[in-house]
Structure 1
Amino acid sequence: MILYPAIDLKDGQAVRLLRGDMEKSTVFNDKPADQAKSFVDAGCEWLHLVDLNGAFAGEPVNGAAVEAILAACPGVPAQLGGGIRDMATIEAWIEKGLQRVILGTVAVENPDLVREAAKAFPGHVAVGIDARNGKVATKGWAEETDVMVTDLAKSFEDAGVSAIIYTDINRDGAMGGPNIEATEALARAVSIPVIASGGVSSLADLTALRDTGVIAGAISGRALYDGAIDLAEALALLKG
């Protein structure tokens, strides 16, 4: 199981939100590229980036910070979500060296775009499914839909999507542990690799996710910044 350190970008800084609330943000580093480099120096194999402003704006806002991270961490693949809602943006990011784009809101509103992108850029397109109480939320988690998580995930089974990033919004940034039961159920319901996000806050959480045997990865943010998880120790644990 791969551990993805998270760098959430707001106004050019690395922050963490509490349950997705833009008004409840904590700045952890005003130089996101330095933060990324510290994760890479600890041995991480991937980086997970989110353009928080972009998720609300519907277009990239923290592009300069993302590009600085890519330049500071050559050779380490990164995935990015937030405000990526058209083919031109997808193509631009992949050309700039991003390994994987994460399509969230657009996966609900324009699923054909996900299929088109996954076909055009094999292995470079993931779907981000953010949920409250089993139902998908969009537009930076501000809008709730009636779409069920499993139904949305299954609709992309034949699309060539490289991964599904599943976030339980109620757990995100709250340090209360991930929703292992829901994440495992989703991973067993689809053949697409599922990455857990939201509330991953201890080595025990990582062990529990790994021990399901079906979850492909885990994203952690606040716990790494607060020191609740030592990244090098966690990576060693997951390598077994």
Structure 2
Amino acid sequence: MMIYPTIEIQHGRCVSLEKGRLDEATIWHVDPVETAHGFAVAGAEWMHLTDFDAVEGRDENSALVEEIIRAAGIPVQLGGGFRSRESVERWIDKGAGRIVIGTMAAHNPALVRELAEHHPDQIVLAVDVWRGQVMTEGWRTSSALTPDSFISAFGDTPFAGIIITDIDSDMDEVDAQLGLIAGLAAHARSQVIASGVVRSIDDIARLTYVPNISGALVGRALFRKAVDLGEALAVAQPGPEPVAEFQ
């Protein structure tokens, strides 16, 4: 299973959100570029980056995002505010390894299918769930779509992955979140990346046993030092198969 150490930025700073509330961010006093490079040094193969200002239509972090992409030393999976073909292709040209699309997939699924087919292994579908509905516009607008119908509507679209986030669950409701994500993963045609469910190393170990989950975003737990990235990467690797001893 792939661990995606995660940075979320707002006004040039590393932050974490509580239940997707953009106006109630926890600020982490670390350098985003140094932090991203540290992920590579620890052995990560990918990282995830979300620009919350881009979600709200502001372009103030573009230079910082470009610097992270250049300096990280590993591919960057980038999310935040993608609403057009031009914005997606512009950031692919700037070196983003993958682009995460949510709102545009709800509003213009045909375009997103086309982008996924034209950019194989570079388009990721984001499915953000609140009280059983898919949320759009940076988790602020409830759509009429249920997550299972939303995922099913894309059929065999060749996404690089599907990130599923249960926004509604409280920080301690890991079992509820795992239940939602595992249920959706069972029917998804693409590999699922779990978001918002890792509070401890034990959560990573549990995820490795859930079918069709290929990865997990880990952000807040790293900044809180509740999870060590090196240990998380080791736990996520498949162990050796048991070998029977013959007498």
> How much has 1:112 moved relative to structure 2?
1.3
Q: Partners in 1 of 2:235 and 2:153 — Cα distance?
A: 34
The normalised TM-score by structure 1 is 0.93
Q: Give the aligned partner of residue 110 of structure 2.
A: 112
Q: Give the aligned partner of residue 129 of structure 2.
A: 131
Q: Give the aligned partner of residue 28 of structure 1.
A: 28
Aligned-pair identity (%): 38
Q: Give the aligned partner of residue 186 of structure 2.
A: 188
> How much has 1:131 moved relative to structure 2?
0.5
In the alignment, is the contact (CA less than 8 A) between 1:12 and 1:30 conserved in 2?
no
Whichever residue aligns with residue 102 of structure 1, its letter is V
Q: Give the aligned partner of residue 39 of structure 2.
A: 39
Which among 165, 184, 188 is matched to residue 163 of structure 2?
165
Q: Partners in 2 of 1:121 and 1:12 — Cα distance?
A: 29
Whichever residue aligns with residue 102 of structure 2, its letter is G
Aligned residues: 237
In the alignment, is the contact (CA less than 8 A) between 1:177 and 1:202 conserved in 2?
no
> How much has 1:110 moved relative to structure 2?
0.9
Q: Partners in 1 of 2:173 and 2:164 — Cα distance?
A: 16
Q: Give the aligned partner of residue 212 of structure 1.
A: 210
Q: Partners in 2 of 1:234 and 1:161 — Cα distance?
A: 25
Which among 114, 121, 131 is matched to residue 119 of structure 2?
121
RMSD value over aligned CA atoms?
1.6
Q: Partners in 1 of 2:90 and 2:203 — Cα distance?
A: 35
Q: Give the aligned partner of residue 65 of structure 1.
A: 64
Whichever residue aligns with residue 33 of structure 1, its letter is V
Q: 2:142 matched to 1:177?
A: no
SS of the residue corresponding to residue 208 of structure 1 reads: helix
Deviations 1:88-117 (A, max 9, x none): 111111111111001111110111120121
Q: Give the aligned partner of residue 139 of structure 2.
A: 141
Whichever residue aligns with residue 116 of structure 1, its letter is E
Q: Structure 1 runs of 4+ off > 3 angstroms?
A: none
In the alignment, is the contact (CA less than 8 A) between 1:60 and 1:83 conserved in 2?
no
Q: Partners in 2 of 1:47 and 1:230 — Cα distance?
A: 15
**Cα 1:210–1:60, aligned 2, differ >3 Å: closer, same or farther?**
farther
> How much has 1:8 moved relative to structure 2?
0.4
In the alignment, is the contact (CA less than 8 A) between 2:164 and 2:193 conserved in 1?
yes
Which consecutive residues of structure 1, in runs of 5 or more, have no partner in the other structure?
none
**Cα 1:131–1:177, aligned 2, differ >3 Å: closer, same or farther?**
same
In the alignment, is the contact (CA less than 8 A) between 1:2 and 1:216 conserved in 2?
yes
In the alignment, is the contact (CA less than 8 A) between 1:4 and 1:48 conserved in 2?
yes
In the alignment, is the contact (CA less than 8 A) between 1:131 and 1:169 conserved in 2?
yes
Q: Partners in 2 of 1:114 and 1:123 — Cα distance?
A: 13
Q: Give the aligned partner of residue 243 of structure 2.
A: none
More strand per residue: 1
SS of the residue corresponding to residue 213 of structure 2 reads: coil
In the alignment, is the contact (CA less than 8 A) between 2:103 and 2:136 conserved in 1?
yes
> How much has 1:60 moved relative to structure 2?
4.6
Whichever residue aligns with residue 73 of structure 1, its letter is A
The normalised TM-score by structure 2 is 0.91
Q: Partners in 2 of 1:238 and 1:80 — Cα distance?
A: 22
SS of the residue corresponding to residue 83 of structure 1 reads: coil
Match runs of 1:200-239 below 5 Å: 200-239=198-237
